[in-house]
Structure 1
Amino acid sequence: MNAKSYVLTHGRRSHEFPVLQGTRQGSKSSPLMYLVFINGLIKQLEDSGLGMCIYNMSICSQTIADDMVLISY
């Protein structure tokens, strides 16, 4: 992959620079890469038994798209 990026601030654009790792925001591979990364963390949180109980439902982590809420003491 030959991805390049730049920074835009106050209407001015920086010089392009290579993107050496990660995925671009909104790219087709972003959701898959997020799921591959986050599934291990979610599994560990579920197995830990930590979290909270709301209306008899155990909640250890809430994830929506690429946002996550960790509930802790």
Structure 2
Amino acid sequence: MNDITTISIEMWRILLDSSPYIILGILAAGGIKIFVNQQIIVRHLRYGRYRSVFKAALFGIPLPL
């Protein structure tokens, strides 16, 4: 029983530590959804399998920073 309690407490602490970043990510995604036109995203990510993946990764690099 002690192990389950310890694991639960640690999971709660991790959730509390990561919650500001989760909220910030949700707000950033909402801002992108509101302010960036979907046609712009489609235009940049439409052609080529590899080029689209490269561009998406390149655009996503600054987000965690």
**Higher strand share goes to which structure?**
1
TM-score scaled to structure 1, two decimals?
Answer: 0.31
TM-score scaled to structure 2, two decimals?
Answer: 0.33
